[in-house]
């Protein structure tokens, strides 16, 4: 069942067409990754979804009903963790609860245990490693309590080991917390390891070049022949315009 | 290393001054040597401390008043762009007017007491505070603002939890500038008309050719400015430590 879809989205910047007649639909409970060349308009697409900018044309539908944007429906996690340096890790995670109750606090504490942040609740962000900061941001994203999660290259600033670790967490976020995830990534392998659907995008104006429905248990092994084959195919498709 | 360089430069300049005065036998009423100034600053500490405390009070009261004006003003200018458009020209104009021109009028309006000096100090202080705070609000990262919007925070909730802490290092930077120039406002006010304060003492001493006392008052004034600047730095590190942590 489709949770969110966009139809005929169009956005120009100073005469440059970034998105033109762009359509996409995302099923409830699925994990969709968007891959495309740098500067193809992926972030603009997210900005349109979150309502940071308005489309010139087109519409966004939530469960079949047109809405202006997803700012009240989706949680968002950016490339940088966006933790507030003056707040403890726990308070950062509690930010989406505007007036946190005791139950919210307990839930955040439990989340810290699940994400391997137990004992770091009172730490200020500068004392946390890159991976821990991103886990902290993930905890904050979960605390939004929204069904849809928009991930904008959430792991791109991390080293490969931490990244692999967090890819597993993203999968469990979908599976264990019942979330629907749309992720922008420039890492084809990451998309293949974590996603149910991989959408390959073309350069500006952005359009869907190809999409893949993936099979098998997640997180997939990166040296699995299925993953390796698809990776080669997608990279060949992207050619010189690789992400 | 951080302290030793300016201290060395200071000592070198003082030695140059001392030797110059002695070599050319400059009369004390024209330019007293630093040793004479230091002697007066210490031996006359009761008088200097009394007048210094008056000036310090004027500066602190001006600072308090400027903070009370600048925080709501910068917040209003940030939250409502029409307020910024309406006030910005007057804010800049207030700094284009020489404080010397304002001082006599303020003395006429508020009298020879400390009120006119407090207002003078406020006029000088509130500009760097307001401008810095406003810049701090405006410098807030767009993605953080986006995050707060998606979390459902109101304009005031965002101001309280995001913009204000974000702008705090800017506010303290403005405060450091403000305390450095605050002495100017208070002293000019005292020059124009006062019965107490270091500015008053300087005018009185100058009229009696007690130049060493004038310099001793300047020394005390510099010390007040330096201590306030240092305290502002401590407050910045205490209340906005994330600025230095990157």
Q: What is the CATH number of the domain that holds A203?
A: 3.40.50.300
ipTM score of the complex?
0.87
Which residue positions in chain B have pLDDT lower than 70?
1-2, 245-246
Residues B223 and B134 placed together within one structural domain of the fold:
yes
Kindly determine whether residue A98 and residue B157, on different chains, have CB atoms separated by under 8 Å. Answer: yes
pLDDT given for residue A55 in this prediction: 92
The label of the residue with tokens 């400390």 reads B114
Residues A180 and A120 placed together within one structural domain of the fold:
no
Residues A237 and A190 placed together within one structural domain of the fold:
yes
Kindly determine whether residue A51 and residue B149, on different chains, have CB atoms separated by under 8 Å. Answer: yes
Contact residues on chain B for A72, CB-CB shorter than 8 A: 152
Residues B27 and B51 placed together within one structural domain of the fold:
no
H-only helix segments in B80-197: 81-96, 99-110, 114-138, 142-151, 155-158, 164-192
Contact A205, A40 (CB under 8 A): no
Residues A166 and A237 placed together within one structural domain of the fold:
yes
Residues B14 and B60 placed together within one structural domain of the fold:
no
pLDDT given for residue B100 in this prediction: 80
Whether the CB of A237 is below 8 Å from some CB of chain B: the reply is: no
Secondary structure of residue A177 in the 3-state scheme: helix
Whether the CB of A99 is below 8 Å from some CB of chain B: the reply is: no
Residues B123 and B156 placed together within one structural domain of the fold:
yes
Secondary structure of residue A146 in the 3-state scheme: coil
Contact residues on chain A for B245, CB-CB shorter than 8 A: 85, 126
**What is the H or E stretch that residue A141 is in?**
helix A130-143
Contact B129, B73 (CB under 8 A): no
Whether the CB of B155 is below 8 Å from some CB of chain A: the reply is: no
**A53-94 pLDDT per residue, tens:** 999 999 999 999 999 999 999 999 988 899 999 999 999 999
Confidence check: pLDDT of A20 > 90: no
Residue B152's closest CA among A135, A99, A47, A129?
A99
Secondary structure of residue A28 in the 3-state scheme: coil
Sorting pLDDT into bands at 50, 70 and 90, what band is A241? Answer: low
CA dist A113 to A116, A119, A122, A175, A227, Å?
5, 8, 14, 18, 31
Residues B77 and B22 placed together within one structural domain of the fold:
no
Residues B16 and B134 placed together within one structural domain of the fold:
no
Largest CA distance in chain B: 74
**A181-199 pLDDT per residue, tens:** 999 998 899 999 999 999 9
Cβ within 8 Å of residue B94, ≥6 positions away = B123, B127
Q: Chain A residue closest to B165 (CA)?
A: A86
pLDDT given for residue A194 in this prediction: 93
Kindly determine whether residue A78 and residue B147, on different chains, have CB atoms separated by under 8 Å. Answer: yes
Of B141, B151, B168, the CB nearest to A96: B151
From A126, A145, A164, the end of a domain falls on: A145
Residues B18 and B43 placed together within one structural domain of the fold:
no
Q: Chain B residue closest to A53 (CA)?
A: B146
Q: Chain B residue closest to A49 (CA)?
A: B150
Range of the domain at B13: 1-31
Which of A67, A74, A86, A127 to mutate against chain B (most B CBs within 10 Å)?
A86
Residues A56 and A167 placed together within one structural domain of the fold:
yes
Whether the CB of B160 is below 8 Å from some CB of chain A: the reply is: no
**What is the H or E stretch that residue B218 is in?**
helix B211-239
Structure tokens at A12: 């120009």
Q: How far is B28 from chain A (nearest CA, A)?
A: 55
Contact B200, B58 (CB under 8 A): no
CA geometry: angle at B10 spanning B5 and B13, to 5°?
A: 125
Kindly determine whether residue A78 and residue B165, on different chains, have CB atoms separated by under 8 Å. Answer: no
Residues A182 and A208 placed together within one structural domain of the fold:
yes
**A88-119 pLDDT per residue, tens:** 999 999 999 999 999 999 999 998 998 889 99
Contact A73, A120 (CB under 8 A): no
CA dist B133 to B61, B127, B128, Å?
20, 10, 8
Range of the domain at A211: 2-73+147-241
**B123-178 pLDDT per residue, tens:** 888 888 999 999 999 999 999 999 999 999 999 999 999 999 999 999 999 999 89
Number of domains in chain B: 2
Residues B105 and B199 placed together within one structural domain of the fold:
yes
Residues A230 and A196 placed together within one structural domain of the fold:
yes
Number of domains in chain A: 2
Long-range contact list for B152-157, CB < 8 A, 24+ apart?
Answer: B152/A72, B152/A96, B152/A98, B153/A98, B155/B79, B157/A98
CA dist A23 and A13 (Å) reads 19
Residues A175 and A193 placed together within one structural domain of the fold:
yes
Kindly determine whether residue B150 and residue A80, on different chains, have CB atoms separated by under 8 Å. Answer: no
Q: How far is A85 from chain B (nearest CA, A)?
A: 6
Of B143, B168, B246, the CB nearest to A82: B143
Residue A241 has a CB neighbour count (10 Å cut-off) of 13
Residues A169 and A227 placed together within one structural domain of the fold:
yes
Residues A151 and A138 placed together within one structural domain of the fold:
no
Residue B75's closest CA among B27, B29, B136?
B136
Residues B38 and B8 placed together within one structural domain of the fold:
no
**What burial class does residue B200 get, using C-beta atoms within 10 Å of its C-beta: 0-12 exposed, 13-18 middle, 19+ buried?**
buried
Residues A25 and A14 placed together within one structural domain of the fold:
yes
Residues A159 and A220 placed together within one structural domain of the fold:
yes
The residue ranges of DSSP E strands in chain A, in sequence order, are 2-13, 16-27, 31-35, 57-62, 65-67, 74-77, 148-152, 180-184, 197-201, 208-213
- Taking residues A119-136, what's their average pLDDT? 92
CA dist B212 and B197 (Å) reads 17
Residues B72 and B138 placed together within one structural domain of the fold:
yes
Residues B92 and B196 placed together within one structural domain of the fold:
yes
Whether the CB of A239 is below 8 Å from some CB of chain B: the reply is: no
Q: Chain B residue closest to A79 (CA)?
A: B143
Residues A165 and A235 placed together within one structural domain of the fold:
yes
Q: How far is B52 from chain A (nearest CA, A)?
A: 38
Contact B31, B88 (CB under 8 A): no
Cis upstream peptide for A51 (omega within 30°): no
Contact B136, B167 (CB under 8 A): yes
Q: What is the CATH number of the domain that holds B103?
A: 1.10.3720.10
Q: Count residue pairs from A and B with Cβ separation < 8 A.
A: 44
Residues B102 and B21 placed together within one structural domain of the fold:
no
């Amino acid at each position: 069942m489709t949770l969110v879809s966009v139809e005929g989205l169009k956005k120009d910047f100073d005469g440059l067409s970034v998105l033109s007649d762009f359509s996409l639909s995302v099923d409830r409970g699925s994990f969709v990754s968007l891959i495309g060349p740098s500067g193809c308009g992926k972030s603009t697409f997210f900005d349109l979804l979150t309502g940071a900018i308005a489309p010139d044309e087109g519409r966004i539908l939530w469960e079949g009903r047109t809405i202006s944007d997803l700012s009240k429906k989706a949680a968002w996690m950016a490339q940088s963790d966006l933790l507030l340096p003056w707040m403890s890790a726990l308070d950062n995670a509690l930010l989406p609860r505007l007036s946190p109750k005791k139950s919210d606090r307990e839930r955040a504490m439990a989340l810290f245990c699940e994400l391997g942040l137990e004992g770091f609740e009172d730490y200020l962000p500068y004392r946390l490693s890159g991976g821990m900061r991103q886990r902290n941001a993930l905890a904050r994203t979960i605390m939004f309590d929204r069904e849809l999660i928009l991930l904008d290259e959430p792991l791109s600033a991390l080293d490969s080991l931490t990244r692999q670790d967090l890819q597993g967490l993203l999968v469990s976020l979908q599976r264990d917390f019942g979330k629907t995830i749309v992720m922008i990534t420039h890492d084809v392998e990451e998309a293949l390891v974590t996603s149910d659907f991989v959408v390959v995008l073309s350069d500006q104006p952005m359009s869907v070049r190809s999409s893949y429905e993936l099979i098998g248990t997640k997180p997939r092994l990166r040296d699995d022949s299925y993953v390796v084959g698809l990776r080669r195919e997608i990279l060949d498709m992207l050619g010189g315009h690789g992400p | 290393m951080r302290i030793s360089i300016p201290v060395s430069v200071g000592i070198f300049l003082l030695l140059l001054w001392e030797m110059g005065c002695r070599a050319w036998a400059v009369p004390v009423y024209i330019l007293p040597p630093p040793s004479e100034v230091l002697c007066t600053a210490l031996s006359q500490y009761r008088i200097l401390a009394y007048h210094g405390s008056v000036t310090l009070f004027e500066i602190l009261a001006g600072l308090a008043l400027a903070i009370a004006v600048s925080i709501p003003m910068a917040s209003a200018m940030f939250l409502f762009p029409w307020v910024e458009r309406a006030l910005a020209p007057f804010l800049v104009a207030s700094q284009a007017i020489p404080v010397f021109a304002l001082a006599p009028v303020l003395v006429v309006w508020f009298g020879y007491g400390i009120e006119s000096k407090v207002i003078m100090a406020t006029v000088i202080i509130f500009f760097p505070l307001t401008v810095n705070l406003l810049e701090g609000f405006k410098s807030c990262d767009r993605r953080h603002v986006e995050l707060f919007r998606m979390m459902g925070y109101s304009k005031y909730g965002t101001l309280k939890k995001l913009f204000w802490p974000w702008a705090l290092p800017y506010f303290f930077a403005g405060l450091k500038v403000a305390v450095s120039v605050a002495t100017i406002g208070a002293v000019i006010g005292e020059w124009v008309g006062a019965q107490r304060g270091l500015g008053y003492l300087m005018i009185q001493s100058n009229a009696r050719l007690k130049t060493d006392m004038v310099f001793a008052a300047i020394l005390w004034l510099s010390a007040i400015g330096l201590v306030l600047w240092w305290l502002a730095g401590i407050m910045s590190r205490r209340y906005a430590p994330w600025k230095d942590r990157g």
